[in-house]
Amino acid sequence: MNTFDPRAKLSIVIALSSLAIIVKDIRLAVFIAAVSLAISMMLSPSIFNILVKLRRIIPLLLILGLSQLLFNKTGTQIFQYYSILITDAGLKEGILVILRMLIIITSALILATESAGSMMTALSALKLPYEIVFMVYIGIKFLPIFNDEFKNSLLAVQLAGADLKAHSLKDKLQVYVYIATPAVVSALNRAKKIAIAAECRGFRAYPHRTFLNNKKLELKDYIAILSVVILFTAAVLFNKQLV
Amino acid sequence: MSFCRLDSVSFSYPDSKSILENFSIEFNKEERIGIVGRNGIGKTTLIKLMLGILKPQSGRIYLKKNDIRHMSLAQVGQKIGYCFQNPDNQLFAPTAYEQIAFGLKYSGFNNQHIAERADYWLNYFEISNIRDSFVFNLSRGQKQRVILAAILSRGTDFFIMDEPTTGLDIAMQNKLSKCLKKLADEKKGFIIISHDKAFIEAHIDRAVLLKEDGSIKDEYI
C-alpha cells in the first residue's frame, strides 16, 4: 500500500495535523484520530510497529491530559476534593489535548513511511529551493546519529559507575550535560565534514540540478489529495457548526 | 569462583543471523583472557552481553553469582572497567581531567584522591599537557589514552578492553603492556579483544577463539 507519492502523503499530514489544532469537538477529534490512525496503519509496514511506537508516549499524553484536567478551572464544576477542582471544560480540554497529540503523532508516522531521499526529491518537485530541501534532508539524517550519540554517552556515563536514579538534582544535571555534550559536538563536527564533502562533490556548482528519479503524481495521488481536501473542508465546516 | 558466567545464552540482532547460539562460558576473576575471531563474529557482542548492555534472547548471565538482569549498568560498571572499541563513543566530559575524575567520583574517592589519581594517570599516559583541553578535538591515539587512563584509574577488579591498542604508538603500547602486567601481579583479571596477535599473546593465559560455525576453541596457554 506504500505507493503514494510523497507529496500526497505530505498533503495528508498537513491536513490532518492542521485539523488536530482546529477541531474543538471531541467526537470530531475522535473521528480524525481514527482516520489518521487508519491511514498510518494502511501505509506502515505493520500495525504492530505503530503500536510499539505509540506505547512509549502514552505517559506523556496522560500528563498533558491530566494537566489540562487539573489546571483548567473554566466551565462548570463536576467534581471537587479539597483544592482539586475538575470542570467540564477542563475534562473536555484534557481529552482534546490527548486526541490532538494522537492525531499529530499518527499523521507524522505517515511521513516515516517515506525515505529521506524520496522526500527530498518530492520537495524539490514542489519547487522548494534545493538548499532548503538539502538542509531538511541532512536534518532528518542527523536524527539517528543524535540518537546513537545519546545512547553511547548514556552507556558510558552509567558504566563509569553513575546511577542516574540515585543522585542529587545537581549531580543529575551535570550528568545530563555530559550526556548531551558529545551529541552537540559530534553534530557540529559532522556538519563541517558534510559541508566540505558536499562542496568537494560540486554542491551548488551549477544553478540547476537534475535528479535520477523524478517524482510524478499519478491518478491515485490526485485522488488522495482531493479526498484530503474534501475531508479538511468538511471537518472545518462541521467543526464550525458544532462549536 | 567464577567472576562471570554465561549460561546457554542465545543472541541475534534484529533481521540478522544468530550471533551466539546456546553459548556457555565462564570467566574467573584472576584470569587474563584474550577473545579472538574474525570481524563480525560476535566478540564485542559477547562483551556487551556480559555487561548487560545487550539482553540475550534466552539464557542467563551471572556476574559474581548475581543475575545481570537484576543489576543496573552502574552496578556492573563499578565491578568492571570497560574500554569501548571506539573512544569517540565513550568520551562524554569536555576535558581529559573531568573524564577521569567522573568515574573516580562515582567509585567513591574523595576530592583529594580524585585529583591525585587523575594526575597520576594523566602523567602515566603522557597526556598531562592536554589535561584541560577539549577532548573531542584530540587525535584518535590521545582519545584512547584518555579512556585508558579513565578506566584504569578506577581500580576495578576486572577490566575489559576492546581493541585497546588501536591508535596507540609503540611507546604507548609498551606503557599499556606494563600496566597490564601490573594488573596481573595485583591478581586482577582482564579480557582483551584484539587483532594484534603479538600484543594479545604477550598478556593472556587463556585464549577464546570464536569460530564461524558458532563453536569456540577455549584453551589455557
Cell numbers that stand for A224 in this block = 488522495
Q: Taking Cα atoms as reference points, which of B111, B137, B138 lies closest to residue B127?
A: B138
CB atoms within 10 A of CB B111: 10
Q: Distance between CA atoms of A216 and A122, rounded to whole angstroms?
A: 9
**Beta-carbon neighbour count of residue A39 at 10 Å?**
23
Do B191 and B159 meet the contact criterion of CB atoms below 8 Å apart?
yes
Confidence (pLDDT) at B118: 96
DSSP B211: P
pLDDT beyond 90 at B44: yes
> For residues A70 and A84, is the Cβ–Cβ distance under 8 A?
yes
- pLDDT for B161 equals 96
More confident of the two residues A47 and A71: A71
Element (H, E) at B34: strand B32-36
Q: Express as a percent the part of chain B with pLDDT over 90.
A: 89
Contact in structure between B132 and B97 (CB atoms under 8 Å): yes
DSSP string for B49-111: HHHTSS--SEEEEEETTEEGGGS-HHHHHHHEEEE-SSGGGT--SSBHHHHHHHHHHHTT--H
Q: Above 60 in pLDDT, residue A1? A: no
Question: What is the reported pLDDT for A53?
Answer: 65
What pLDDT score does A2 carry?
A: 58
d(CA A142, CA A137): 9
- Higher-confidence position of A72 and A212: A72
Q: Give the pLDDT confidence of A178-188 residue by residue, as tens digits.
A: 999 998 898 88
Q: Do B92 and A181 touch (CB under 8 A)?
A: yes
A163 and B74: CB-CB below 8 Å?
Answer: yes
Percent of chain B with pLDDT over 70: 100
Nearest to A158 among B74, B89, B93 (CB): B74
**Residue A183 contacts B, CB cutoff 8 Å:** no
Are B82 and A159 a contacting pair at CB < 8 A? yes
CA distance B9 to chain A (A): 22
Measured between CB atoms, does A185 come within 8 Å of chain B?
yes
Q: Does A184 touch chain B (CB under 8 A)?
A: no
Contact at 8 Å (CB) between B56 and B10? yes
- pTM greater than the 0.80 cutoff: no
Judged by CB atoms closer than 8 Å, whether chains meet at B90 and A156 is answered as: yes
pLDDT at residue B90 greater than cutoff 60: yes
Percent of chain A past pLDDT 90, that is, above it, reads 37
Read off the pLDDT of each residue in A73-87 and give the average, rounded to a whole number.
Answer: 87
B193 in Cβ contact with B47 (< 8 Å): yes
What confidence tens digit (pLDDT) does each residue in A201-219 have?
A: 888 888 777 777 777 889 9
For residue A242, is pLDDT > 80?
no
Host H or E run for residue A16: helix A6-22
Sheet of B32-36, strand order = B80-83, B158-162, B189-193, B32-36, B206-210, B216-220
pLDDT value at position A134? 85
**Bridge partner residues of A85 (DSSP):** A80
- Please determine, for residue B59, whether its predicted confidence score (pLDDT) is greater than 90: yes
The ipTM value here is 0.91
Which helix (H) or strand (E) segment holds residue B121: the answer is helix B111-124
* Predicted confidence (pLDDT) per residue in B156-215, tens digit: 999 999 999 999 999 999 999 999 999 999 999 999 999 999 999 999 999 999 998 888
Q: Does A147 touch chain B (CB under 8 A)?
A: no
- Per-residue pLDDT, averaged over A123-136, amounts to 84
d(CA A193, CA A142): 13
Per-residue confidence (pLDDT) for residue A46, from 0 to 100? 65
Nearest Cα to A130, choosing from A206, A54, A70?
A206
Rounded-to-integer distance, Cα B103 and Cα A171, Å: 13
**What are the Cα distances from residue A217, in Å, to A108, A110, A136?**
21, 17, 22
Which has the closest alpha carbon to B109: B71, B150, B80? B150
Contacting residues of A for B53, CB less than 8 Å apart: 155
Nearest beta carbon to residue B103 from set A161, A182, A185 = A161
Distance from CA of B106 to the nearest CA of A (A): 5
What is the per-residue pLDDT for A141?
78
